[in-house]
Amino acid sequence: MQKITVPTAFNIELEFETAELLNRFWALLFDFFVMGAYVLAVIIIPLSNASERGETFKDSLTVLQILLFIPVLTYSLLCEVFLNGQTLGKKVARIKVISETGGKPQLHQFFIRWLTRWITYAFPFTIVDLVSYLSTKKNQRLGDVAAGTMVIKTSLSSSLSTTVFQEVADNYQPRYQSALQLSDRDMNTIKTALVNYRIGKASLQRIDRIADTIRTALHIQEYEDNIYFLETLLRDYNHLSNQS
């Protein structure tokens, strides 16, 4: 398990913790259970009853079963695309797939992960995947290396999953108009850092680094308390985003 830092466009570091091998194993096991239950209910049981209805029905059912098997083949791909980087197993294990840049992977990245998964299911390649996980800095299997993705703990990815929304009065006067140059992801990072600082999980030095980075990026010359500065940015961003 590794702690990974990923810079955003403004070099504000997002912090993630890679998924442990055991978590990934339980997620895979749960997904196999889901797929097995689907195959049993939709394919195997209907086939066992087909002989009672005659060969014609059995032949037509076989064609249908081939079509019904497609969801099994595409299960991980479809889940990760439409469930924001998670299969059902990953949801249970509280892990998810993200890109190496810290955001949601692109469709082609999900496709590469899915394609290589079928290759690495073969026993020798499974060993290679294990070696890859243990030896890469971001604990990536071969498919992740090829796709430019990694698997992280969702419990530590609040910088991407929480909201930047804050209640701001209608007559609020924003101080930093340039706050809109930042992205939701940057603001989520700021908010998470402030929350973690208040509960003792982030140092004041990290707050200082983020504040100095933003001042440089936005060309803000004035200086004030870094915590107040970041809180003001959050309020300004909320107000200006609602106005635009």
Domain extent listing, the chain: 3-156, 162-243
The interaxial angle of helices 204-218 and 226-243, nearest 10 deg, is 50
The interaxial angle of helices 204-218 and 184-198, nearest 10 deg, is 150
Contact status, residue 121 vs residue 159, Cβ threshold 8 Å: no
- Residue 96: its pLDDT value, please? 94
Quote the tokens at residue 161. Answer: 């999953």
Cα distance between residue 11 and residue 70, in whole Å: 42
Cα distance between residue 178 and residue 167, in whole Å: 20
- Residue 40: its pLDDT value, please? 86
| Closest to 132 (Cα-Cα) out of 108, 118, 150, 106 | 150
Contact status, residue 75 vs residue 35, Cβ threshold 8 Å: yes
Contact status, residue 84 vs residue 105, Cβ threshold 8 Å: no
Cα distance between residue 61 and residue 59, in whole Å: 5
Burial class (CB in 10 A: 0-12, 13-18, 19+), 172: middle
Contact status, residue 183 vs residue 233, Cβ threshold 8 Å: no
- Each of the 244 residues of the chain gets a pLDDT tens digit; together they read 677 776 665 556 667 889 999 999 999 999 999 999 998 887 777 666 655 555 555 555 567 777 888 899 999 999 999 998 999 999 999 999 998 877 788 999 999 999 988 777 666 557 888 888 889 989 999 899 999 999 999 864 444 445 555 666 778 888 999 988 888 778 888 888 898 888 888 889 999 999 999 999 898 988 889 999 999 999 898 888 776 5
Quote the tokens at residue 188. Answer: 């989520």
Contact status, residue 149 vs residue 100, Cβ threshold 8 Å: yes
